[in-house]
Structure 1
Amino acid sequence: MKILITGKNGQVGQSLYLALQAFPNVDVLACGREELDITNSLAVQEVVSRYKPDVIINAAAYTAVDKAESEQSLAFDINATGPKNLAMAANDIGSSIIHISTDYVFAGDHVDDYKEVDATSPKSVYGQSKLAGEVAVAEMCERHVIIRTSWVFSEFGNNFVKTMLRLAKSNSSLNIVGDQFGGPTYAGDIASAILQIAFSLYNGNQAYGIYHFSGYPTVNWADFAQTIFQQAYTKGLIESAVVVNSIPTEQYPTPASRPKNSRLNCDKIYSEFNVSASNWLAALKNINQYQKDNEQ
């Protein structure tokens, strides 16, 4: 089996490459932007036609949510044009594509958790660019799996967990938004889910379409932060637990609007691929690894 990974330097990309070390019989070509600019259609066609992967996993993305409001063209190039190029190339050689999307494709005003069939209505440029990527992938390659996820964290790159650990060093209390709800998702679990799906597709499963995969239980940002600090204190990473003050979104204005409800229903991915929701509480038990990376 041959797998092409784009976005190898991101949280999911690095987690995928790490997880694939357990599968020595899988041939992997992992590319960052320096090896493959996915916005360049000719470059994508050349690499894909030469390597001929069975599955393309697109983990490349523009994820600077607030900067996207002023960098709209760049966000759409990476999040929409890039996936379109990959999907076209996958279709040309008869391979499958797994594309990672986001909870930000929803407005966030839904009462219940979001299912795959619920209407999309992104409120930010980032969300709009990611939705455009979903549409392009679905249109360009029938053999697609689109995975919407949320609140990604890991040992790699920049994320909420590592930001909280850094702030805990110099703050005894922090104001954290408490009226935005979602599922923190460990990138290592996303990687495991993607590989399980990739192997299933390779073995003939044709359950193509859109799927939700995120962490459980769902929380708000303030409670997530509180759990991070409690775990860090228990492991001796911080000298005292940080006091978290829950505040409304209106008291923490940002250039891009965030959905207040990012809760994703993950029943479909379990039904079709036997993939369970991410256990973010278990992932936080290895919080020492996040601290070590912060100190490098």
Structure 2
Amino acid sequence: MRILLLGARGQLGRALFSALCRDYPHWQVTALGRAACDITDPGALIGALNRHQPDVILNGAAYTAVDLAEAKPELAERINHQAVALLAWEASARGALLVHFSTDYVFDGSGSDPWCEADAPSPLNVYGASKLAGEQVIRALCPHHLIVRTSWLYGGEGSYFARTILRRANEGQPLEVVADQWGAPTQVDWLATSVLLALPQVVKAPDKGGLYHLCPAGETSWHGFASALVEESCRLGLLARPVPIKPIPSANWPQAARRPLNSRLDCRRFATVFGIQIPAWEVLMSRWLASQCEGG
């Protein structure tokens, strides 16, 4: 099976490439970062597809700067929607499976029940709107697709909430963290591994494709996640001592983009269709922190 991984230098792209190399050495994998294939450049994208003739396209490329997107809506639209439209069209024309990643931010965060795939999206910010537009154009143009919505990604390369919390805690800085936004932190390597477990099933049985939610089991707030990170890091010896973490409402932490208060996702469909057991977010967090002790 020929796999073309786009966005291979980003947080998710690196995790996907690592899992592909580790678990699927028999697959023919080509991994391209933005320098090798900018998906907003039609010539570059079509050229890469012509050269590599993939059976499966893994799209790890996205514009994910949620707050900056409010000031640069055209850029978010170009990467998360317009480029994805071309990718969907080309994948369909070539008979390739398109695997794409989306976000809990397509929802408005109302209520407290977990969102399921059939619930109507209503994004609060430019980033969420651009990701929803990308989903919709894939579903319209490319019948053979797998779209995975996830939430609160951490781990791997780059800057993200968990890394920031641990850095500031290590510096002994007291923390203030939002306590009224709820969801499930998703460890990026687990996400990549889980999606790749589902991939061969969708290739063999295209009717298993479609839209899915995937994040760990359970729920917490950003404050709960930060508290758990610090507590477990102290237990493992990653931190010498705990730091105070003050819970605050979202109104006390103003940001350019509004965030949904309820980012809970119902992932039962993914677990049932693909026969994959979904662990608790605390378990994955502990494993990730333990890997940091080992230099992983």
TM-score (norm 1): 0.95
Q: CA deviation at 1:66?
A: 0.4
Following TM superposition, where does structure 1 have runs of at least 4 consecutive aligned residues deviating by more than 6 angstroms? Answer: 291-294
Does the CA contact (< 8 Å) of 1:186 and 1:278 recur in 2? no
Alpha-carbon displacement from aligned partner over 1:161-193 (angstroms, at most 9, x marks no partner): 101111112234211000000010011111112
SS of equivalent residue, structure 1 residue 39: coil
Does 2:109 match 1:111?
Answer: no
Distance (Å, rounded) in 2 between the aligned partners of 1:110 and 1:83: 31
Instruction: After TM superposition, list the pairs within 5 Å mapping 1:263-278 onto structure 2.
Output: 263-278=264-279
Alpha-carbon displacement from aligned partner over 1:41-70 (angstroms, at most 9, x marks no partner): 232222113211111111111111000000
SS of equivalent residue, structure 1 residue 256: coil
Which residue of structure 1 aligns with residue 179 of structure 2? 178
Does 2:97 match 1:96?
Answer: yes
Which residue of structure 2 aligns with residue 27 of structure 1? 28
SS of equivalent residue, structure 2 residue 264: coil
Residues 163 and 292 of structure 1: CA distance in aligned 2, closer, same or farther (over 3 Å): farther
Which residue of structure 2 aligns with residue 196 of structure 1? 197
Residues 293 and 37 of structure 1: CA distance in aligned 2, closer, same or farther (over 3 Å): farther
Structure 1: tracts of 5 or more residues without a match: none
SS of equivalent residue, structure 1 residue 216: coil
Does the CA contact (< 8 Å) of 1:66 and 1:256 recur in 2? yes
Does the CA contact (< 8 Å) of 2:14 and 2:156 recur in 1? no
Which residue of structure 1 aligns with residue 14 of structure 2? 14
Does the CA contact (< 8 Å) of 1:155 and 1:293 recur in 2? no
SS of equivalent residue, structure 1 residue 206: helix
Which amino acid counterpart does residue 20 of structure 2 have in structure 1?
L
Which residue of structure 2 aligns with residue 157 of structure 1? 158
Does the CA contact (< 8 Å) of 1:3 and 1:53 recur in 2? yes
Report the more deviating stretch, 59-68 or 17-26.
17-26
Q: CA deviation at 1:239?
A: 1.4
Q: CA deviation at 1:11?
A: 1.6
Does the CA contact (< 8 Å) of 2:144 and 2:206 recur in 1? no
Distance (Å, rounded) in 2 between the aligned partners of 1:81 and 1:273: 30
Does the CA contact (< 8 Å) of 2:236 and 2:293 recur in 1? no
Which residue of structure 2 aligns with residue 39 of structure 1? 40
Distance (Å, rounded) in 2 between the aligned partners of 1:139 and 1:208: 14
Which residue of structure 2 aligns with residue 213 of structure 1? 214
SS of equivalent residue, structure 1 residue 114: coil
Which amino acid counterpart does residue 134 of structure 1 have in structure 2?
E
Alpha-carbon displacement from aligned partner over 1:231-265 (angstroms, at most 9, x marks no partner): 11111121111221111111111000000000000
Q: Residue 287 of structure 1: which of 269, 272, 289 is its match?
A: 289
Does the CA contact (< 8 Å) of 1:186 and 1:279 recur in 2? no
Residues 81 and 293 of structure 1: CA distance in aligned 2, closer, same or farther (over 3 Å): farther
Report the more deviating stretch, 282-291 or 73-82.
282-291
Q: CA deviation at 1:88?
A: 1.2
Which residue of structure 2 aligns with residue 3 of structure 1? 3
Distance (Å, rounded) in 1 between the aligned partners of 2:111 and 2:295: 37
Q: CA deviation at 1:274?
A: 1.8
Does the CA contact (< 8 Å) of 1:155 and 1:289 recur in 2? no
Which residue of structure 2 aligns with residue 236 of structure 1? 237
Q: CA deviation at 1:203?
A: 2.0
Q: CA deviation at 1:280?
A: 2.9
Q: CA deviation at 1:276?
A: 3.3
SS of equivalent residue, structure 1 residue 78: helix
Does the CA contact (< 8 Å) of 2:201 and 2:208 recur in 1? no
Q: CA RMSD in A?
A: 1.7
Residues 160 and 272 of structure 1: CA distance in aligned 2, closer, same or farther (over 3 Å): same
SS of equivalent residue, structure 1 residue 283: helix
Does the CA contact (< 8 Å) of 2:178 and 2:250 recur in 1? yes
SS of equivalent residue, structure 1 residue 87: helix
SS of equivalent residue, structure 2 residue 124: coil
Structure 2: tracts of 5 or more residues without a match: none
Residues 130 and 290 of structure 1: CA distance in aligned 2, closer, same or farther (over 3 Å): farther
Does the CA contact (< 8 Å) of 2:156 and 2:189 recur in 1? no
Does the CA contact (< 8 Å) of 1:69 and 1:125 recur in 2? yes
SS of equivalent residue, structure 2 residue 148: strand
Residues 242 and 193 of structure 1: CA distance in aligned 2, closer, same or farther (over 3 Å): same
Distance (Å, rounded) in 1 between the aligned partners of 2:63 and 2:116: 24
Q: CA deviation at 1:100?
A: 0.0
